[in-house]
Amino acid sequence: MRLKKNPTIYRLKVTVSALTIAIVLLANVSQGQQIERTELRNIETRGDLAERIELAVAYLDLATRQQLWSGFEAELTDDHSFGLWAADWPGRTLEAYARTSLALGKPTSKRFDEVGFGLLGNQRRDGAFKNGKPIAPERTGYAYSNGYWFGNARGLLGLIWAHKYRPQQEAYLDGAKKLGDHFLANYFAEGQLGAPSSFWWVSTEAMVELYGITGDRKYLDFGVRIAESVPDVNPISQHTHSYLLAIRGIVNICAHLQSEEEKTIRGALLAKALKQHEYFENHVMWPGGGIVEHLGQTEGYSLNYWFDEGCSVFDWWGLNVDLWRVTKETRFLDMAERTARNHLLFNQDRSGGFCGDRGIDFVREGSPWPFCCAMHGTRTLAEIPQYIATTDKESVFVSFYYPSTTNLVVQNHPVTIEMECDYLTRGVVEITVESAQELEMPFNIRVPAWSRVAKLVINGEPQEAVVEDGWCVLDRVWKATTDIRIQFEMTVRTEPMNDFIGLQEGDDTSRKSLWFGPRQLVYNQSLNQDLREVVQGQPALRHVYQAYGELQLDRSTKQTPLTIGEKKYKKGLGTHSVSEITYWLDGQFKEFRSDIGIDASSEGAGAVRFKVCTDGKVVHGDVVKASIGENNEGQVQSLYGFEVTAMSGRDPARSIQVNVADAKLLTLVVDEAVNGLAKDYANWAGARLIKEDGTVVYLSDLPNDRDKGIPFDQLEIDEENVQNIAKERVVFGVSIGGKDVPVVFSFLDSLGYDLMKNRPVLRSYVKTSDN
């Protein structure tokens, strides 16, 4: 295994110093009023955010009955059955429909009652949601208990939000309380299957929300009990989505623990959340707020360092806004904006669906799925408006910049905040504040940590900006209508690379990510033909990334003769998922040919996906897609005209031919498929290049020039040398070998809609002039 060992194994004990910090933070918060999320009914959302919400709902509406209710009906017979999750899908869908309807001020789906009444109809007399089919022996124990408590927590959130949207339908509240009581009676019962884990701990979120709508203290107290049961966690044990939800629940529990008697437990719980946040920020998060699916597992399993978990991204956003409400530290708002403006949007496809398997520094386009990420991403889009403008009853906090109208009650008087923005390109935000009464209230506008206030104009008059603790503070008497125009300084900047848990030994951590304002810039190989034209060199191997083992020439990664099925090969490449192997071709070849498959030494195990990239774009390979409204056989389908090449260890060799005429770079990708990384011994058997005159050159016979790297490795970006900033890209001027070359970087958020169609090769980090 070539991955770095995790840089720190956190045993998350609440140290005296951490506990002291948490208590001080909470003590400072208690000096003022609690900041509350603004009710969705009091917000009108416009522009891109509203359009994305509607797209997301339209995608959810395509889900089939089988997909929605398979948790109650599917046989629990193998590792790919979703039957054990019961209310997970309909619960999430109901929550998404309720939140979006409130956010847009209109019913967003005609299926609300279908899903809502269907969920109630599947609730048992004891309040629980359970699969009605027999439980197969292999699905008992740990896996089943995870699905049971996780699915019930998602079902409970669905009922709670259905009640918030339709309070006149008392059945939703009754069902929520009945399920909450089931948790109280059975969650800690002895003798149940499995053992508590992050899938159980999401109940903290459900309990605190149930307390919020009922006011019944027993639910909050039970949430505290669950929060206290969450053990010290090391980073090779947890599923990030469920763990982040659990921590988010803990933070929201802290928001309700206000008495002096509760200070110690409140401080201890907050310290736990803050320490886990620190670990995620420093070791788990991609620059744009992306979060991998697992904190780590043993070799042979999917470590998932190469692509994100969409739900975890959304939870990371939510954890940060909740930490801000509790601590009032603006650094959490900065992190939330980073996530919302980058990886959250990067995960939404043009279909409206959200992907949970996209990569940046590994070729992984991902695909929208009809469960989990689709519902959770929709929920998060609808949550964002609640934090645009908020109040602690005495002051106003404008935190995020989206076209919107927010109605607040401040000092017992109504205040309306209208917002229009040209924020992403020019850093301009225009705010109109309307108050029927004269109010002397602090009005706080967040100044992002990466910027400063370049200009502030109030009612047409320039003003000097007063910035305190990350806020531009306007402390004045407000009356009638006040127009504010604030402009933030927008520049290209760099950020250092974090010590990511998925780094390989020897990786260059001096590289940096590039940013313009709140948006991340990523290197897009497919847009940089000019760069490849100025690079010279013989055809040769230039780069290898392989998660496990070493690339082998003319033998398998297990160092056995290359064999696929019964067929043996003398030439080829033996690798292991996940891997990227890049060759410099210098435009000398017209075709690439290979047999692909999993080596016979896997004994029928393993499952991988093969892709071929030329000059920074996938030109042959699969897109995995769980269909919506279609017959979903095998869950692997061809999309956008690309051939499907997902293969298992039971498949015979498959021959491929790929046009590489004039191509400078050839990248061969092996990705995991459906069963993790176990025995993914992938072969590019007989891998060869064909010249125009018919000459055959085997890849394994090309020289090894890995020390030269690919053209991208030769870049050194000076962030001051910006040639052009456009809506979707930034162009830098670079000198390579004495020649001036324009180098194009794309904005991460603008790539998401069409990533599956365009399929570019992307990279987060680059060498800069100050490395």
Q: How would you write 400-445 as a 3-class SS string?
A: CCCCEEEEEEECCEEEEEEEEEEHHHHCEEEEEEEEEEEEEEEEEE
9-13, 76-80, 92-96, 521-525: the lowest-pLDDT one: 9-13
pLDDT value at 366 more than 90: no
| DSSP symbols for 503-562 | PBTT--TT-EEEEETTEEEEEEGGG-HHHHHH----SEEEEEEESSS--EESS-TTSS-E
Structure tokens, 734: 């670079």
Nearest of 451, 456, 448 to residue 492 by alpha carbon: 451
**What pLDDT does residue 89 have?**
92
In the block, tokens 């140290």 appear at 15
pLDDT value at 2 more than 70: no
Measured between alpha carbons, how far is 747 from 178 in angstroms, rounded to an integer? 47
Q: Residue 703 to residues 684, 698, 708: CA-CA distances in angstroms?
A: 17, 11, 12
Measured between alpha carbons, how far is 646 from 636 in angstroms, rounded to an integer? 8
| 170 Rama sector, left if φ>0, alpha if ψ -120 to 50, beta otherwise | alpha
Over range 545-573, report the average pLDDT: 95
pLDDT value at 338 more than 50: yes
pLDDT value at 29 more than 80: no
**What pLDDT does residue 623 have?**
61
Cβ burial, residue 171 (10 Å; 0-12/13-18/19+) = middle
Which ranges of 61-202 would DSSP assign to H, the alpha helix? 65-73, 88-104, 112-121, 142-165, 170-186, 198-201
pLDDT value at 760 more than 80: yes
Q: What is the mean pLDDT of the chain?
A: 88
pLDDT value at 422 more than 70: yes
- End-to-end Cα separation, the chain, in angstroms: 29
**What pLDDT does residue 635 have?**
35
Contact 116, 94 (CB under 8 A): yes
pLDDT value at 341 more than 60: yes
Cβ burial, residue 11 (10 Å; 0-12/13-18/19+) = exposed
In the block, tokens 């990067």 appear at 346
Measured between alpha carbons, how far is 636 from 1 in angstroms, rounded to an integer? 29
pLDDT value at 87 more than 90: yes
Cβ burial, residue 9 (10 Å; 0-12/13-18/19+) = exposed
25-34, 508-517, 556-565: the lowest-pLDDT one: 25-34
pLDDT value at 638 more than 50: no
DSSP letter at 183 equals: H
**What pLDDT does residue 13 have?**
35
Cβ burial, residue 728 (10 Å; 0-12/13-18/19+) = exposed
**What pLDDT does residue 640 have?**
33
Query: Is the backbone peptide bond immediately before 578 cis, with ω within 30 degrees of 0?
Result: yes
The band of 637, judged by pLDDT with boundaries at 50, 70 and 90, is: very low
Measured between alpha carbons, how far is 471 from 334 in angstroms, rounded to an integer? 12
pTM of the model: 0.93
- Per residue in 41-85, pLDDT (tens digit) is 999 999 999 999 999 999 999 888 877 888 887 654 444 445 578
User: Which of 1 and 18 is assigned the larger pLDDT?
Assistant: 18
Measured between alpha carbons, how far is 216 from 210 in angstroms, rounded to an integer? 8
- Per residue in 715-724, pLDDT (tens digit) is 999 989 999 9
User: Which of 134 and 480 is assigned the larger pLDDT?
Assistant: 480
User: Which of 298 and 334 is assigned the larger pLDDT?
Assistant: 334
407-416, 488-497, 604-613: the lowest-pLDDT one: 604-613
Structure tokens, 751: 């790539």
- Per residue in 133-172, pLDDT (tens digit) is 665 555 566 677 888 999 999 999 999 999 999 999 999 9
**What pLDDT does residue 32 have?**
57
pLDDT value at 287 more than 90: yes
**What pLDDT does residue 299 have?**
54
**What pLDDT does residue 643 have?**
45
pLDDT value at 8 more than 60: no
114-128, 239-253, 285-299, 746-760: the lowest-pLDDT one: 285-299
Q: Count of CB atoms within 10 A of residue 426's CB?
A: 13
Structure tokens, 458: 């109030």
**What pLDDT does residue 504 have?**
80
Query: Do the strands 467-468 and 461-462 form a parallel or antiparallel pair, or are they unpaired?
Result: unpaired
pLDDT value at 700 more than 60: yes
Sequence-ordered strand ranges (E) for 585-680 = 591-598, 607-614, 617-621, 623-624, 636-637, 646-648, 654-659, 665-672
The band of 7, judged by pLDDT with boundaries at 50, 70 and 90, is: very low
Q: Count of CB atoms within 10 A of residue 320's CB?
A: 26
- Rounded CA Rg of the chain: 27
**What pLDDT does residue 197 have?**
87
Measured between alpha carbons, how far is 416 from 426 in angstroms, rounded to an integer? 25
What H or E segment, with its residue span, contains residue 276? helix 263-279
Q: Rounded to 10 degrees, what is the CA torsion of 475, 477, 481, 484?
A: -20
Q: Residue 111 to residues 28, 31, 58, 100, 597: CA-CA distances in angstroms?
A: 45, 45, 11, 13, 44
Over range 512-526, report the average pLDDT: 97
pLDDT value at 507 more than 60: yes
pLDDT value at 350 more than 50: yes
Structure tokens, 46: 């416009």
The band of 677, judged by pLDDT with boundaries at 50, 70 and 90, is: confident
Contact 302, 680 (CB under 8 A): no
Structure tokens, 511: 């590289």
- Per residue in 203-233, pLDDT (tens digit) is 999 999 999 999 999 999 999 999 999 987 7
- β partners of residue 466: none
Nearest of 695, 670, 505, 680 to residue 591 by alpha carbon: 695
Q: Residue 669 to residues 82, 144, 582, 600: CA-CA distances in angstroms?
A: 29, 34, 9, 20
Structure tokens, 53: 């919400």
Contact 476, 463 (CB under 8 A): no
The band of 501, judged by pLDDT with boundaries at 50, 70 and 90, is: confident
